[in-house]
Amino acid sequence: MAAPAEPVRRGPYAKTVERRRHILDAAHQVFAARGYHAGSLREVAGEAGISLSNLTHHFPTKEDLLLAVLEQRDRDGAAAKAPAVGLRENLLAQARAAGLPESGAVGFRDRLLAQARANESIPGLIALYAVLSAESTTSDHPGREYFVGRFSLLRSAYLQEFEALREAGRLRDGVDPQIAASSLVALWDGIQLQWLLEPEKVDVAAHLAAFLDLVILPQPNLR
């Protein structure tokens, strides 16, 4: 499972890495369109243009494949290779790459809204996460642990941001940074779901901006 990040290797190993990556892209498309339960290895092989036995040589079970898809997404995010295509976890990686402060009052709102706008260009990926995260609540779903961890990671990242804002006197009185952090994650997931169903009607970034404007004060609250 430990596929290296560098794409410019030579020889048979490089080919394996490339083939695996090609399969993961196909799997991602199939799971995004059909969900994990309904998407079959046969469909993924078809999408990748390879045989089923070739596919199961690389990923013996559908569970292996799903976990590899999710890990690949995280690696893409951590490497910040494609900032415009990142998920929310990319915020920190992008901030690091751009030399921005990783948390604090400066730029949180802007970085978040930029990410929301970037997500508009990748509805398939957003749908994948919407379906898989909801499916992961059902019995015996192999992605459950991954999503519990992912939500926990997102909540901590935003908690840091809101705590830094509070220290800067920029959190509205009475706002609990922890509740604000999990609410932001929840609002984002929920409004993306409405947007997936009616993209022309729902503006995700406008909803996030409205929430942040309720929670964050434009000027420090000097008392």
Q: Which is nearer to its own copies, 22 or 172 (CB)?
A: 172
Instruction: Confirm or reject binding of residue 119 to its own copies (CB under 8 A).
Output: no
**Six-digit token string for 74:** 């995280």
Q: Which is nearer to its own copies, 102 or 120 (CB)?
A: 120
Of the candidates 219, 215, 218, which has an alpha carbon nearest to the alpha carbon of residue 173?
215
- Coil, strand or helix at 171: strand
Q: Pattern 29-68, binding to its own copies, x per CB under 8 A?
A: ---xxxx-xx------------------------------
Closest CA to 207 of 222, 190, 182: 190
Task: By CB under 8 A, name the one of 11, 12, 174, 218 that touches its own copies.
Answer: 174
Instruction: Give whole-number Cα distances, 158 to 104, 119, 123, in Å.
Output: 10, 18, 23
Number of residues counted as binding its own copies (CB under 8 A): 48
Asked whether 168 and 111 are in contact (CB, 8 A), the reply is no
Interacting span for its own copies (CB under 8 A) from 14-22, 53-61, 105-113, 172-180: 172-180
Ramachandran class of 216: left when φ > 0, alpha when ψ lies in -120 to 50, beta otherwise: beta
Distance CA 11, CA 6 (A): 14
* Binding status of residue 190 toward its own copies by CB under 8 A: yes
Query: Which residue number, 81 or 172, has a Cβ lying nearer to its own copies?
Result: 172
179 makes contact with its own copies (CB under 8 A): yes
| Distance, CA of 208 to CA of 113 (rounded, Å) | 7
Q: Does 213 bind its own copies (CB under 8 A)?
A: yes
Pick one of 180, 205, 212, 216: the residue that binds its own copies (CB under 8 A): 180
User: Is residue 19 close enough to count as binding its own copies by CB under 8 A?
Assistant: no
- Check if the beta carbon of residue 163 is closer than 8 Å to that of residue 178: no
> Of 23 and 131, which has the nearer Cβ to its own copies?
131
- The dihedral of CA 195, 151, 5, 22: what is its sign? negative
Task: Name which of 32 and 48 has its Cβ closer to its own copies.
Answer: 32
Do 31 and 69 contact (CB within 8 A), yes or no?
Answer: yes
130 binds its own copies (CB under 8 A): yes
Closest C-alpha to 171, from 201, 213, 207, 143: 213
Of positions 6, 49, 139, 219, contacts its own copies by CB under 8 A: 139
Binding footprint of its own copies on the chain (CB under 8 A) = 32-35, 37-38, 127, 130-131, 133-139, 144, 147-148, 151, 172, 174-176, 179-180, 182-183, 185-191, 193-194, 196-198, 202, 206-207, 210-211, 213-215
